[in-house]
Amino acid sequence: MVNVLTWDDGDGDAMPSSYNIMKALLLMRSMLLFIGLATFVYASCAQPDAPPAEVRATADARPAERSITTATRPRIVFLGDSLTAGYGLAKEESVPSLIQARLRDGGYPYEVINAGVSGDTSAGGLSRLDWSLEGDVKVLVIELGANDGLRGLPVAALKRNLTEVITRAQARSIKVVLTGMEAPPNFGAAYTNEFRQVYRDLAKAHDVTFMPFYLDGVAGNPSLNIADGMHPNVAGSRVIERAVWRALEPLLEKSASAPLLDTPADAARSVAK
């Protein structure tokens, strides 16, 4: 059975319950050209056999954080775009980082991998999937499609790319959390409806945990977004993190092992004890 967070539009169609999507999407329109150009640049540079330069640089810049993890430590991978990467936020304020802190405080053994790349499309996410799933990945959180919608890319391509991501993850026995996205209204009602339906259909067809709208409760709220009106601020990131946690927690297992060491400072304190 598909796990779906609470949502209802009153007539049987699945819709997020706490946001004004028209207001949110109208705010997106001012950034359409910029995001579209950024997406083109990043997608054009993506290589299928290696992580994009942005991701590779981030991973290489923090060798100390990764060196203390063990080969057997299970991973949760967030595959997404700027909403996952934490555009406009400090590293520790991104949704994946907030989930990592919650896992650590709750005694869960998982390492969270932030595989978010600003400007990425569903095709870009698919092109770097194999690299992103290195290690003992137990859960994949998919947050892709916002840039497909902003650029008006074919819905069929979005569905094909997301299907490939889901099926390849499931072939490795990786649990999947699929998060939905909305397209702006300027491409017409038919496009936005078909776009929205892709996520619902895939969640049902592949029996995955489903969040109907990643930005539920955040989109369209100026107090929860940075100045561009599209990317969550710290408060907005925490709202999303709580929603992601509700979807993610039932898929996790706790460890009876010793407390996890996530940073060199943690390791040093442990040795001192």
Catalytic site positions: 82, 228, 231
- 51 neighbors 128 (Cβ within 8 angstroms): yes
Hunting for tokens 């029996």 — which residue is that? 207
| DSSP notation for the chain | ---B-S---SSS----SS--HHHHHHHHGGGHHHHHHHHHHHHHH-BTTB--HHHHHHHHH-HHHHHTS-TT--EEEEEESHHHHTTTS-GGGSHHHHHHHHHHHHT--PEEEEEE-TT--HHHHHHTHHHHT-SSEEEEEEE--HHHHHHT--HHHHHHHHHHHHHHHHHTT-EEEEE-----GGG-HHHHHHHHHHHHHHHHHHT-EEES-TTTTTTT-GGGB-TTSSSB-HHHHHHHHHHHHHHHGGG-----SSPP--SHHHHHHHHH-
> Rounded to the nearest 10 degrees, what angle do helices 189-206 and 155-171 cross at?
20
137-143, strands of its sheet edge to edge: 111-116, 75-80, 137-143, 175-179, 209-211
